[in-house]
Amino acid sequence: MEAKFSNRVKEVISLSREEALRLGHDYIGTEHLLLGMIREGEGVAVGLLKKLGISLDELRVTIEQATKGTATNNVKNLANIPLTRQSEKTLKITYLEAKIFKSPLIGTEHLLLSILRDEDNVATQILNKFNVNYEVIKEMLEYQSSGSRPVMGPETDDDDNDRGMFGGSSSSSGKDPKGSEKSRTPVLDNFGRDLTKLAEVGKLDPIVGREKEIERVAQILSRRKKNNPILIGEPGVGKTAIAEGLALRIVQKKVSRVLFGKRVVTLDLASLVAGTKYRGQFEERMKAVMNELEKSPEVILFIDELHTIVGAGGASGSLDASNMFKPALARGDIQCIGATTLDEYRQYIEKDGALARRFQMVMVDATSIDETIEILNNIKDKYEDHHHVNYTKEAIEAAVKLSERYISDRFLPDKAIDVMDEVGARVHISNITVPEDILKLEEQIENIKKEKNQVVKSQKYEEAAQLRDKEKRLIDQLDRAKQAWEEDTKKRRYTVTEDNVAEVVAMMTGIPVTSVSNDEGKKLVNMGEELKGRVIGQQSAIDKLVKAIQRTRVGLKDPKKPIGSFIFLGPTGVGKTELAKVLATYLFDKDDALVRIDMSEYMEKFSVSRLVGAPPGYVGYEEGGQLTEKIRRKPYSVVLLDEIEKAHPDVFNILLQVLDDGILTDGLGRRVDFRNTIIIMTSNIGVRDLKDFGAGIGFATKRSAESQDELMKSTIQSALRKAFSPEFLNRLDDVIVFNSLQREDIHKIIDLMLGKLLGRVTNLGYAVELTEKAKDFLSEKGYDPQYGARPLSRAIQRYLEDPVAEEILKGELKDGDVILADYNGEGETLTISVKKPEAVVE
């Protein structure tokens, strides 16, 4: 019989036996069941009685006085106390009550109803004196079962029962603060948040601007039919804020008189769907919400993420939320404000023409920089109070401008507010220093705990008691110290500066702080000399590159374009690719700041899509493009498109958009920002034409170098104009032709390459030295008029690295030995000898 009782009802029956024994009764009547409920104290039934204003203590005293003269005092054992016929009947009727409310478990509320159903029992007669009858309790439960707020927290043991009965989660923010007034919209109060009530108590942020949008929303709401605006815009532009702003203005009476007295309530679809495990439960809740809306014309429903109503709660053969809303929306029985993004509107709502025509579109664009600064100035007080900081005027402006420039995949004002919020958190956290006395107290408490545990293990309980008392005193002292520190922290406000904002933007985007702040100037001034020391023989090319970057970074160039776009031309092996690598490492302080793409992989027409991602329906559609994905992950880098002339001509058409606007749309429709990249293309175009001129490539004498370089440049540029379209070349910042290498350049390159080799040998514990004759020998062997400096690395490997490796493998070297390489003028090899380090004379 008790199989379907909830644990709480079982506890009530057990307690009722104890109450009968306490009162000296040899039976369990309905009055004892009522006493058991009062003693248990937490069930739904007790909550209903409290809601009706009944004092449980007074009720208990009344029951005890009514049964005072019936005590027998013959019962000694709980198990021997039988139920009266009325009690047995009452417990059987609980099944019927639970069935009426479609509850899988019998709860205390069903027990209370079954007691009240019989008007002749003692408990009912007592409850009637308190104006409690069957109809009152049943009506309250029907309100709750149709979706209104539970009068108390859900029963722990009756969890399944309560969820089945009440459904959804309660939201305290929408609740009537008085509690005693009966709400006209109890279901909506449970599944929604009343924005106008939040506005009244000052829990909504003020809205700045958006007069046109709010005026248009108010205008649509004043229509006779189809008076439902839908706010459409990108994520973060402030769609929800407009609804909150409307609620604020209704409270402040700064709207049309038509909207005076209106309530803006946001509907929580998640809690509406939650717990609807049986067919028809969701539709029942939706119908209850809609009935309340139709009966309450003063309520304006706000549904954030409106696209979620399409398919919400829908199962096979049943209606979803959107189809249930359609008729009421068309008739004008309910007023609804929706908000969704452009993509989701197109994907979900626009496809359903019947739903789309019931809403009037209000486009919400991202705010401008000036508007965003005004917004931040109006809401900064709440963030200052939260983080205990003060924002300077410059910090607010920096948060807006830097977020707009460097956080390209999000929208104002959301991204600027995020920056302001995070910089406040960073400044507050970085200035928190725990006082020394608190640290000492925490250490003392920890030591006493360890000592106390040791003493307890040794069974020295008196000593343990003393330590316990000492620990308690220290904990009290620690609490006071923490409270004093907290109050002191609240009084002390730290200032958020422009530099703090730059640091946070750097953390959020991966852009080095020096690249954001003004300290970059010194680095750019010395940039030319640094690059010339690492890329030999290309002074003219480096000067052009550095000037273009300096021009861009001081703000003289259009910020909507990439930092710089260049094409490096010239013979192979003269340093085109090397300069791009060195530039990336120097400019971005990172070795991985170079995004290198070998354009020889894109020779076929179909391979072009790999740069931006495959189109829908093709294999690899979800993976993204090889170029776009890398830039999305590292938006501040050098993009090296190596051997650009080998790519299919369609690649150049894709690059036109990047070079002009700094934007590229990938296969998934996402806009990838190239404005913080340096785009470098390398090409050997025209080099083959120079073979006809004999000495026009490779090494040249000083006397003829200038004329040969001029000849080379004119030949290469002529070939360039034939290979690339004018619109492509016209979008480049500069076409840089690299010079052929001079013989003295080769000596400098040898020194650079030997520096890397010496570093590797030093790690092994030895040293390598070369004579000038050895260097001349290597430059002679590494010389090749067609391949520039590349054969030099092969010559060093063959004539220097191989003999040094043999010497090391002999096993005769010791730490500190110097390997000397020389050339004696004969043969095709260097002579290798070992020089012992000089002994230290004491």
pLDDT > 60? residue 685: yes
Residue 570 in tokens:
């010239």
Query: Using CA atoms, how far apart are residues 755 and 75, in angstroms rounded to an integer?
Result: 103
In contact, 565 and 731? CB cutoff 8 Å: yes
Residue 65 in tokens:
């006085």
Strands 734-737 and 564-569: parallel
**Which whole-number Å values give the CA distances from 19 to 63, 131, 170, 235, 626, in the listed order?**
11, 24, 34, 61, 77
In contact, 757 and 796? CB cutoff 8 Å: yes
pLDDT > 50? residue 132: yes
Query: Using CA atoms, how far apart are residues 178 and 184, in angstroms rounded to an integer?
Result: 14
What is the pLDDT averaged over residues 182-199? 76
Query: Using CA atoms, how far apart are residues 42 and 11, in angstroms rounded to an integer?
Result: 11
Strands 831-835 and 818-822: antiparallel
Query: Using CA atoms, how far apart are residues 374 and 210, in angstroms rounded to an integer?
Result: 12
Listed in sequence order, the DSSP H helices in 634-765 are: 649-661, 702-723, 726-730, 743-763
Q: Specify whether the backbone of 525 is left (phi greater than 0), alpha (psi in -120 to 50) or beta.
A: alpha
Specify the amino acid at residue 393. K
pLDDT at 1: 39
Residue 115 in tokens:
């007691």
Query: Using CA atoms, how far apart are residues 454 and 463, in angstroms rounded to an integer?
Result: 11
Quote the percentage of the chain above a pLDDT of 70: 82
Specify the amino acid at residue 482. K
pLDDT single digits (tens) 426-460: 888 887 777 777 788 888 888 878 887 877 777 77
The model's pTM is: 0.59
Confidence category of residue 504, pLDDT binned at 50, 70, 90: confident
Lowest mean pLDDT among 243-252, 349-358, 512-521, 733-742: 512-521
What is the pLDDT averaged over residues 20-33? 83
Beta-carbon contacts of 763 under 8 Å, excluding residues fewer than 6 positions away, are: none
Query: Using CA atoms, how far apart are residues 655 and 676, in angstroms rounded to an integer?
Result: 15
Confidence category of residue 766, pLDDT binned at 50, 70, 90: confident
pLDDT > 60? residue 48: yes
Query: Using CA atoms, how far apart are residues 212 and 376, in angstroms rounded to an integer?
Result: 20
Which residues are paired to 4 by β-bridges?
Answer: none
The label of the residue with tokens 């308690």 reads 472
In contact, 545 and 680? CB cutoff 8 Å: no
**Which whole-number Å values give the CA distances from 294 to 55, 218, 223, 650, in the listed order?**
37, 19, 16, 59
The label of the residue with tokens 């492509």 reads 728
- The one-character DSSP state at 194 is E
What is the pLDDT averaged over residues 483-504? 80
The label of the residue with tokens 């710089």 reads 564
Reference 189, options 205, 177, 174, 178; nearest CA is 174
Q: What share of the chain is helix, strand, coil (3-state, %, to 5)?
A: 55, 10, 30
Specify the amino acid at residue 355. L
Confidence category of residue 280, pLDDT binned at 50, 70, 90: confident
Render 233-257 in DSSP notation, one character per residue: --TTSSHHHHHHHHHHHHHHT-S-G
Listed in sequence order, the DSSP H helices in 332-392 are: 342-344, 353-356, 369-387
pLDDT at 840: 40
For the chain, how far is it from start to end, CA to CA, in angstroms?
Answer: 104
Residue 353 in tokens:
């023409």
* Ramachandran angles phi, psi of 178, nearest 5°: -70, -35
Query: Using CA atoms, how far apart are residues 736 and 745, in angstroms rounded to an integer?
Result: 19
Reference 801, options 834, 761, 762, 772; nearest CA is 761
Confidence category of residue 186, pLDDT binned at 50, 70, 90: confident
pLDDT at 516: 44
Lowest mean pLDDT among 199-203, 534-538, 691-695: 691-695
The label of the residue with tokens 């049964």 reads 67
In contact, 389 and 427? CB cutoff 8 Å: yes
Q: Mean pLDDT for the chain?
A: 76
pLDDT single digits (tens) 547-565: 877 776 666 667 778 888 8
pLDDT at 654: 82
pLDDT at 198: 86
pLDDT at 172: 37
pLDDT at 688: 66
What is the pLDDT averaged over residues 124-136? 83
What is the pLDDT averaged over residues 637-666? 83
Collapsing DSSP to helix, strand or coil, 767 comes out as strand
In contact, 687 and 717? CB cutoff 8 Å: no
Report which of residues 16 and 167 the model is more confident about.
16
Confidence category of residue 316, pLDDT binned at 50, 70, 90: low
pLDDT > 50? residue 173: no
What is the pLDDT averaged over residues 363-388? 85
